[in-house]
Structure 1
Amino acid sequence: MSPYTEITAEINKAAAGPQIAALFDFDGTIIAGYSVFSFLREQVRRGDLAPSEIVATVEAIGKFGLGRADFAALMSLSAQSMKGLKEDDYLDVAQLIFERDLAKKIYPESRALIEAHMRKGHTVAIISSATPYQVGPCAKYLGIEHIACSTMEVKDGIFTGELGGPLCFGEGKVNAALDLAKEKELDLANSYFYSDSTDDIELLEYIGNPRPLNPSQKLRDIAETRGWPVRTFKRRAGSNALGFTRNVATKLSLVGSALAGLPIWALTGSRQEARNFATSLFADVAGAVAGLKLDISGEKHLWVERPAVFIFNHQSDIDVLICSKLLRRNFTGVGKAEIKQMPLVGAAMEMAGVVLIDRSNSKSAIAALEPLVDRIKQDKISVVMAPEGTRTHSKKPKPFKKGAFHIAMQAGVPIVPIVIHNAMDVSPKGDSLYYPGTVEVEILVPINTSRWTVENLDKQVAKIEALYKKTLDKSTTAA
């Protein structure tokens, strides 16, 4: 069962079809906090703002927050601060800021609502007073095609310092919704708008189904008098001593578990039994410390055929723990060589039999993987790998590398796909915190590799990559 079933229950019962819109505000609704501060910090870091501009911008933001300045004045000042910058450079910066700062601020519950609307075939859009540079990368990440924002004027690829047109604020959001309704033949009377602020009261009053999310106290009071359903989600980003402690304690439990396996080795003489003990102990202790729970479907496929090569889509550093909880014993993994530099953790990983490879040197990486074929054949040890080679920042996997598939083909064992749906809810990329949560995992039917050859390997890998995309897409595809 999805951890967000209660949150999406209303949408799951709603009418389907693209004539119904699901419109989302951005700051405070999809993400916690305000994206403008991340962009301001980056502009300061890059030296794009003079000291006087920094002071003026901070003062304008403060006045707007206190209701002492209008939004147009704030946006005009922002446009002026960008004068002379290349838009292409700013687009690159925007993507960097999203990956580094904003992605980890996405409310998992808001993402679940977006995906629920997509499953119903609704037309999902972000209507925000922010700029496309703030909203665009997040919309792409979430698979949202339509956005309406406040724009900056660009000529010959350079920001002019002027606004690009009417602001998407207040009545401007109503106009944006009407424009989208005309273009897509939407039924706004039966559509939804999610927002956290009374700045959006005009569209909240216009839409058929106003849905305040994480509302300000003022909007909460209005919602109560008008009978609008309200939801408040727990903030995901920022300083959180408990979340940081979970992260550290989880990694240290790996060291403790490895040490606990040493007496088993001494008493039994079996290094593998010691590794099995340590791995299972790590899975149980670290899982409890991190607050990680798994909702597993197809669990029987983990044990039908062993040894095997297990592959997983890599969303988060919590994936290591997820695989440990799933596989439990008689397996080894592959990690990046940089892990060796991590105090204690690197030694614990090597003691556990993890093969650490230098991804920058393809020849040495291939050489390091070759002994795994012998371990599978002789020791009956399974292998778990992420064919993407590194973490991705999306539900859509990166192109698969061939290492895992070569190993399975040469060893004559099946490939078992592990599909991880929402590990980023527990450990977002770029965040140092762990959040308690339930991760949905699907174990797919083992794939026979006995007829694979070097000549048809590319085709086989492409099939499995497509299988991952299809399985991951079903959470956002209309039934």
Structure 2
Amino acid sequence: MPPYTDITTEIDNAPAGAQIAAIFDFDGTIIAGYSVFSFLREQVRRGDLAPSEIVAVVEAVARFGLGNSDFAALMSLSAQSMKGLKEQDYLDVAQKIFERDLAKKIFPETRALIEAHMRKGHTVAIISSATPYQVEPCAKYLGIDDVYCSTMEVSNGMFTGELGGPLCFGIGKVNAAVALAKAKNVNLDDSYFYSDSTDDIELLEYVGHPRPLNPSQKLREIAETRAWPTRTFKSRTSSSTLGVTRNIATKLSLVGSVVAGLPIWALSGSKQEARNFSMSTFADVASAVAGLKLEIIGEKNLWASRPAVFIFNHQSDIDVLICSKLLRRNFSGVGKAEIKKMPFIGRAMEYAGVVLIDRKNSKSAIAALEPLIDRIKQDNISVVIAPEGTRTHSKKPLPFKKGAFHIAMQAGVPIVPIVIHNAMDVSPKGDSLYYPGTVEVEVLSPINTSRWTPENLDKQVAKVEAIYKSTLGKSTAVVE
């Protein structure tokens, strides 16, 4: 069963069409915690706030959290603290904060709900009391075009220290939903609103399908009296210590698996058999330690044509484990040269046959890949490589580099695409934690490379890249 099917069942069975809206609050609903703290830390780091301003903002946030201050006072103070700053600088900072801090806090279950609504062709929107700088990078990442927020006044590219209009809070969220309904011909009686807080009670009462998500205790009590269905997601609120332990133990299991394979090499004289034992052991032990499960579609394609060049879209550092779990034996990989600096891990990766390349030096990288062609031809060893060259936050892959395709073409073996749908749920980019979960993987049919030439290689790479975009896009495809 694909991940999160139990969570999306209601939406999967709901009517389709853009006349139905799925409206999401942001803090505590789409992401765990509150984005304001990430922005406050960044302002302190950059020196944008004087010590007195820091104390005032922290006190205001605390008072609001305890219910001793109204939201307008908090937002006015925030606006004043930004007076004189360039908006463009803040936009750039906002993107960095999303990539560094907020992307890893997105609840995968909430993202699954968003994608389920998109598959139904529903109008998906975020209505948040936060600012666009907090919300819009995440909305763009999730593919959400309609965003309603509280705004700050900007004049000549500079923040004035004043609010930009009515706050998107309380009844202001209802007004935003009504504006959305008028703009998109939405029927709010048939629409959904997801929120974690009683601050949004007006909009929860206004829509036809209120859906408290990660509700506060007070909202949970209200929901129980009104028979509103509730859900609480804990995938991004588990123990940090446990998550870090999973990460470390997963990596160390590679070292242990390599050591366990050394006697096989000594007794049999076959380094490859020892590698096969080590990688297979690593795949099983590390998956158990990390809490990783795979839902595999097209598993037969893993064995249909070997040797081959297996390529995968790179979402997470746990992709290494996923590929080991899939391929099991007689394969080699490609990694970044920085791995050499990791104590024990670097040596273990090299022993396992992984070629570590300097991505910044294209000539040396190409030279390092050439022996892999001989290994494919002479030893029937497959190669697994990420054509993007680095990880990305998004399901949308980065432009493919041609190294993997050159190897396949010159070795005369097929390309086998491995499409990883949601590895970021288990190990988000930039996070040191591993979260237990199920990753959906599609192994597509082998692609014949016998007619590939240096002259048509760019065209062939573009075709494969298009296959990835199409396959990954199915999760948000509109159901007709």
> TM over 0.5: same fold?
yes
CA shift digits 1:213-270 (9 cap, x unpaired): 0001111111011110010110515752111111100000000111111111011111
Does the 8 Å CA contact 1:104/1:237 hold for their aligned counterparts?
Answer: no
- Equivalence for 2:244: 244
SS of alignment partner, residue 211 of structure 1: strand
SS of alignment partner, residue 295 of structure 2: strand
CA shift digits 1:108-159 (9 cap, x unpaired): 1100100000000000000000001100111111111110000111112111
- Equivalence for 1:118: 118
SS of alignment partner, residue 419 of structure 2: strand
TM-score normalised according to structure 2 size: 0.99
Amino acid at match of 1:285: V
Cα RMSD after superposing both structures: 0.8
The 5 Å alignment of 1:117-266 reads: 117-236=117-236, 240-266=240-266
- Equivalence for 2:433: 433
Residue correspondences, number: 479
What is the rounded CA distance, in whole Å, between the counterparts of 2:250 and 2:379 in structure 1? 29
The 5 Å alignment of 1:406-417 reads: 406-417=406-417
- Equivalence for 1:86: 86
Does the 8 Å CA contact 1:332/1:354 hold for their aligned counterparts?
Answer: yes
What is the rounded CA distance, in whole Å, between the counterparts of 1:424 and 1:378 in structure 2? 36
CA shift digits 1:431-459 (9 cap, x unpaired): 11111110000001110001111111111
SS of alignment partner, residue 418 of structure 2: strand
SS of alignment partner, residue 3 of structure 1: coil
Amino acid at match of 2:63: K
What is the rounded CA distance, in whole Å, between the counterparts of 2:145 and 2:314 in structure 1? 24
- Equivalence for 2:367: 367
Displacement of 1:350 after TM fit?
Answer: 0.5
SS of alignment partner, residue 199 of structure 1: helix
Amino acid at match of 2:188: L
Does the 8 Å CA contact 1:255/1:345 hold for their aligned counterparts?
Answer: yes
Does the 8 Å CA contact 2:235/2:435 hold for their aligned counterparts?
Answer: no
Does the 8 Å CA contact 1:357/1:368 hold for their aligned counterparts?
Answer: yes
What is the rounded CA distance, in whole Å, between the counterparts of 1:62 and 1:71 in structure 2? 12
Structure 1 residue runs of 5 or longer lacking an equivalent are: none
SS of alignment partner, residue 211 of structure 2: strand
SS of alignment partner, residue 130 of structure 1: coil
Amino acid at match of 1:339: I
Structure 2 residue runs of 5 or longer lacking an equivalent are: none
Query: Structure 1 residues 275 and 235, CA, compared in 2 at 3 Å: closer, same or farther?
Result: closer
What is the rounded CA distance, in whole Å, between the counterparts of 2:30 and 2:142 in structure 1? 10
Displacement of 1:67 after TM fit?
Answer: 1.2
| Percent identity (aligned) | 83
- Equivalence for 1:402: 402
- Equivalence for 2:356: 356
Misfit runs of 4+, over 4 Å = none
What is the rounded CA distance, in whole Å, between the counterparts of 1:381 and 1:28 in structure 2? 47
CA shift digits 1:278-335 (9 cap, x unpaired): 0000001001110100000000000000000000000000000000000000000000
What is the rounded CA distance, in whole Å, between the counterparts of 1:460 and 1:90 in structure 2? 40
Amino acid at match of 1:264: I
What is the rounded CA distance, in whole Å, between the counterparts of 2:353 and 2:443 in structure 1? 24
TM-score normalised according to structure 1 size: 0.99
What is the rounded CA distance, in whole Å, between the counterparts of 2:68 and 2:251 in structure 1? 48
The 5 Å alignment of 1:423-462 reads: 423-462=423-462
Residues 1:36 and 2:36 are matched in the alignment: yes
What is the rounded CA distance, in whole Å, between the counterparts of 1:107 and 1:299 in structure 2? 28
